[in-house]
């Protein structure tokens, strides 16, 4: 099979049975360095993706990504800002009735949040797993479905009653008006394994209107869910309509979001550091090869081999080390990722009872490998420059 001479010589320099053990060790260490760096990068970034996916599915699926309301938290349904519909990232929009309330039972007082819901709109509530008890939220009686953790805090069960108290929104109203107080019978308990289990109370929408003294055309605002909440451009939404207050999920989950951003920056830093180490290994390996093969290079030049082909010899050598290292690193990382139990065992040596969520994004693995190969090939430039700048007549005359 025909091979261009620079490929044949480059692969010959990479590995052959007659290479000294020292050179073999250097080549193996260069490949291992790249493999370990790539595998650790892919595993770590897959774990970060897993945590982001868990955050997106288990937390952001239950809370709205954007809330549009006004200062009084009381808007007319007909005043809906239609400009929002032009945004491409919007998944669904619903109006809502919500209010912070004081919850009083026989033993304790807690703070909760009532949510007025339409029992017909089951899609919004599908994650709550309350299909069997949703019918109990009728407008004729004051019934409520509360979170599991909230029920534990209040020491209440199904068919028990809780007293909900709505505080006026301003001091003037507090002095003039009496408090809104209403008894609600618990007809169901939901469990989402989310923080909303600790404070949310679901009641019928019409009961919520009456309880909060809202008009029939009034709502608290609009809740918006996005296709990708991580690409939220809140300033763009605020510019669409300046008459409303726009709140986003980052305000409520700001610390967690910042922590995730810091994780990404740290991951980027370590990836760059790993690439620098890998590139340094390539430089050392190729420099040793160039110093050892300088006589051969001089012979090639004196025989009329063009300089660009000499350059290609060492590019083939460097890229071969990089490709092999990347290939082994990717295979090792995929094996570790699919062996979740083993990976959890390794991590639980240092951390107790942590279940590691993992999500593989193929395009990220591709970008990591391409970037690594490209930068390691760039690191071959110095040894190549050193190889072609030498004068063959001077080197051969010294022998």
Q: What is the mean pLDDT of residues 85-110?
A: 81
How would you label 10-36 residue by residue, b for 16+ Cβ within 10 Å and e otherwise?
A: beebbeeeebeeebeebbeebbebbbb
Among 1, 176, 151, 170, which residue's Cα sits nearest to residue 74? 170
* pTM summary value: 0.69
With beta carbons less than 8 A apart as the criterion, state whether 390 and 310 touch: no
Angstrom distance (rounded) from CA 190 to CA 133 = 10
Residues in the chain: 399
What b/e readout covers 242-273, taking b as 16+ CB neighbours within 10 angstroms?
eebebbbbbeebeeebeeeeebeeeeeeebee
Residue 395 has a pLDDT of 46
Higher pLDDT, 226 or 382: 226
Tokens of 16: 């052959």
Q: With 70 as the cut, is the pLDDT of residue 221 above it?
A: yes
CA dist 56 and 12 (Å) reads 51
Q: Which of 108-117, 376-385, 388-397 has the highest mean pLDDT?
A: 108-117
Closest CA relative to residue 315, chosen from 370, 376, 372:
376
Which is more confident, 69 or 341? 69
Q: Percentage of the chain surpassing pLDDT 90?
A: 1
What residue spans define the domains of the chain?
Answer: 5-57+257-398, 66-249
Angle, CA of 37, 43 and 48, to the nearest 5°: 120
Share the mean pLDDT of the chain.
78
* pLDDT average, residue stretch 296-321: 76
Buried b (16+ CB within 10 A) or exposed e, 128-148: bebeebbebbeeeebbbbbbe
d(CA 99, CA 209): 11
Mean pLDDT in residue range 387-399: 54
User: Please, which residues bridge with residue 184 across strands?
Assistant: 162
pLDDT band at 331 (very low <50, low <70, confident <90, very high): very high
Q: Is the pLDDT of residue 365 over 50?
A: yes
Alpha carbons within 13 angstroms on the beta-carbon side of residue 41 total 28
Q: Measure Cα distances from 55 to 49, 96, 127, 225, 230 in Å.
A: 10, 23, 15, 15, 11
Q: What is the pLDDT of residue 122?
A: 66
CA distance 35 to 322: 9
Cα distance between residue 341 and residue 315, in whole Å: 40
The reported pLDDT for the residue numbered 203 is: 87
d(CA 77, CA 217): 6
| Average pLDDT of the segment spanning 219-247 | 78
Distance, in Å, from the CA atom of 164 to the CA atom of 154, rounded to the nearest integer, reads: 12
| Per-residue pLDDT, 320 | 84
pLDDT at 233 over 80: no
pLDDT value, residue 313: 79
63 confidence band (pLDDT: 50, 70, 90): confident
Q: What's the confidence (pLDDT) of residue 77?
A: 80
The pLDDT of residue 246 is 83
Cα separation, 223 vs 350, in Å, equals 41
Token pair listed for 317:
């050598």
**Which pLDDT tens digit goes with each residue over 161-208?**
888 888 765 544 444 455 678 888 888 888 887 888 888 888 888 888
Res 387: pLDDT: 65
């Amino acid at each position: 099979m025909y091979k261009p001479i620079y490929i044949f010589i480059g692969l010959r320099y990479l590995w052959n049975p007659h290479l000294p053990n020292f050179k073999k060790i250097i080549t193996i260490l260069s490949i291992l360095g790249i493999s370990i760096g790539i595998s650790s990068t892919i595993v770590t970034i897959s774990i970060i993706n897993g945590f982001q996916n868990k955050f997106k599915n288990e937390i952001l699926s239950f809370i709205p990504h954007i809330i549009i309301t006004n200062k009084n938290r009381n808007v007319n349904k007909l005043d809906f800002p239609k400009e929002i519909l032009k945004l491409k990232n919007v998944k669904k929009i619903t109006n809502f009735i919500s209010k912070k309330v004081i919850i009083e039972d026989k033993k304790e007082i807690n703070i909760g949040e009532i949510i007025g819901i339409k029992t017909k709109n089951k899609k919004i509530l599908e994650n709550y797993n309350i299909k069997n008890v949703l019918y109990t939220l009728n407008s004729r009686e004051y019934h409520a479905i509360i979170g599991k953790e909230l029920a534990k805090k209040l020491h209440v069960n199904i068919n028990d009653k809780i007293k909900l108290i709505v505080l006026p929104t301003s001091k003037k109203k507090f002095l003039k008006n009496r408090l809104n107080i209403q008894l609600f019978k618990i007809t169901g308990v939901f469990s989402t394994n989310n923080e909303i289990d600790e404070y949310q109370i679901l009641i019928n929408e019409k009961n919520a209107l009456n309880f909060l003294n809202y008009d029939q055309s009034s709502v608290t605002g609009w809740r918006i869910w996005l296709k990708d909440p991580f690409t939220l451009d809140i300033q763009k939404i605020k510019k669409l309509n300046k008459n409303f207050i726009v709140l986003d999920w980052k305000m409520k989950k700001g610390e967690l979001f910042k922590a995730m951003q810091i994780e990404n920056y740290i991951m980027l830093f370590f990836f760059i550091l790993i690439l620098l180490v890998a590139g340094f290994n390539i430089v050392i390996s190729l420099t040793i090869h160039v110093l050892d093969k300088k006589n051969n290079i001089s012979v090639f030049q004196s025989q009329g081999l063009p300089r660009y082909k000499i350059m290609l010899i060492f590019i083939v050598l460097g890229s071969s080390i990089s490709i092999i290292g990347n290939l082994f690193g990717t295979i090792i990382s995929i094996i570790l990722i699919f062996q979740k139990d083993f990976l959890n065992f390794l991590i639980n040596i240092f951390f107790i009872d942590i279940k590691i969520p993992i999500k593989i994004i193929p395009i990220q693995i591709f970008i990591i490998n391409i970037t690594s190969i490209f930068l390691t090939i760039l690191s071959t430039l110095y040894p190549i420059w050193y190889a072609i700048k030498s004068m063959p007549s001077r080197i051969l005359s010294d022998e």
